[in-house]
Amino acid sequence: MIQNELPSIAKSVWSATSHEPPECPPFTGNQETDVAIIGGGFTGLTAALHLAKSGVCVTLLEAETPGWGASGRNGGQLNPGLKEDPDKVEQHFGPAYGKRAVETSGKAVDLVASLIAEHEIDCSFSRPGWIQPIHDMSAWSTVARRVAQWQRREAPLRMLSETETADLLGTGAYKGAMLDERGGQLHPLNYAIGLAKAAIKHGAKLHAHSRVLGIEKQGASQVLRLNTGQLRARRVLICTNGYTDQVAPQHRRTVVPIRSIQIATDPLTDNLRRSILPHGHSASDSRRLLLYFRLDADGRFLMGGRGDYSESGLKRQFAALHKVTRQIYPQLEDTPFTYHWGGYVAMTADHYPHLASAGDGVMSAMGYNGRGVAMATALGKVLADWASGVREEDLDFPVSKLQPIPFHFMRRPAVAATIAWSRLRDTWG
């Protein structure tokens, strides 16, 4: 179970099957560090690892335990690229920075693979490729354009016919698909635990159950206030994504946390296993409210989709997820779903993650728009470079201004309206 979470979204397959986490004693006393990191997900943990490796004194403060947020709960799908396609990314950031953003996001899975190999992280990593199945012919041209744009950049993507798609997915529910051979998958909580262990091994100090309550500039330093003490730092990295609280009110207004939920079975029988995703691909489809699915390393089937803020809404969404899973895979009709869980993804108004400075040595990376397993790993490294003194213009991802979302206090009704509209458009095609 995910500790300190609503019971209805706490029964996670990853928590039930994870390795022992490292010892991370709660923070106490008055301490000093070069770089303080708030948040122990992939962003904060990779930043801590890179900084510690290069000899920087780094202290990470996590309100719960490493990987407690989205990083320990996600679908474990390593999908290269950003939400937007490469041509649009280059237009958005301009030719020089845009090209860098495309390269960094396109190679983000390589970075994950190299970290796993270098630090011998045991997290069931595999790289059979990522499939984006097309739910309706109206999405075909969008997906084909994506493939063409990446192919022009020599990335190994191709379109699949309806028959090829049915063979690779084990369902005839889709009209065709895109296959991106760069994609992979892993056990996300074990990846977070492995990153935490590696960071500690290289000298980073990690503190669990250590919620930062406030940040205050004092002279040339920033002072982080906790219930149990305070930490003085030269630089602060805010890595709290969809869980950003009042510690960073400006950042909080730049993202909208949206719940994503998942269900999982127990390990399937060999027969069922052979009939679903027989070559081990992961999939997230072309719907606006996308469905994402895969098998884990032990053959459990996982399906994810959009959640809700309220208990009654969650109940409805879990029931809808059961139903659609059995529509796509009728062979699961009699298979119970043992696990039900969820967490917050952080959406931004422009659909891009934001690497930003709040002035005076306070830097942040957040807003992965549900595409953060590989990308948070990549931006954690960029944050580490930045905190080590690499100039903004030389970073592997462009720095943008903090962009508060207008009428942020209205986010919940706005999200509900957007979801209802997207659902209608998905149904109409």
Ligand X SMILES: Cc1cc2nc3c(=O)[nH]c(=O)nc-3n(C[C@H](O)[C@H](O)[C@H](O)COP(=O)(O)OP(=O)(O)OC[C@H]3O[C@@H](n4cnc5c(N)ncnc54)[C@H](O)[C@@H]3O)c2cc1C
Binding site for ligand X (CB under 6 A): 38-44, 61-64, 68-71, 73-77, 79, 211-212, 239-243, 245, 247, 260, 262, 292, 304, 342-345, 366, 368, 370-374, 376
Query: How much is the CA Rg of the chain, to the nearest whole Å?
Result: 21
Nearer of residues 65 and 165 to ligand X, judged by Cβ: 65
CB of 334 to ligand X, least distance (A): 26
CA end-to-end distance (rounded Å), the chain: 38
| Smaller CB separation from ligand X, 345 or 387 | 345
Report the alpha-carbon distance of residue 301 to residue 298 in Å, rounded. Answer: 9
Q: Tokens 């969809």 sit at which residue?
A: 242
Tokens, residue 296: 């884990």
CA–CA dist 357, 183 (Å, integer): 31
Q: Which is nearer to ligand X, 196 or 272 (CB)?
A: 196
Specify the residue for token string 């690892």: 49
For residues 25, 26, 29, 34, the Cα torsion angle rounded to the nearest 10 degrees is: 80
SS3 assignment, position 410: helix
Tell the smallest beta-carbon distance from residue 153 to ligand X (Å). 20
The CB-of-369 to ligand X minimum distance in angstroms stands at 8
Closer to ligand X by CB, 53 or 251: give it: 251
CB of 222 to ligand X, least distance (A): 14
In 5-97, the DSSP E strands lie at 10-11, 29-38, 58-61, 77-78
Instruction: Decide whether 61 or 276 has the Cβ nearer to ligand X.
Output: 61
Nearer to ligand X, 225 or 279 (CB): 225
CA distances from 394 to 53, 75, 100, 208, 295 (A): 20, 32, 10, 33, 39
CB under 8 Å to 413, separation ≥6 — which residues? none
Q: At closest approach, how far in Å is the CB of 137 from ligand X?
A: 26
Cβ 418 to ligand X, closest distance in Å? 18
What is the smallest separation between the CB atom of 45 and ligand X, expressed in angstroms?
7
Q: Which residue is nearest to ligand X (CB)?
A: 372
User: Is the CB of 356 or the CB of 406 nearer to ligand X?
Assistant: 356
Eight-class DSSP state of 223? E
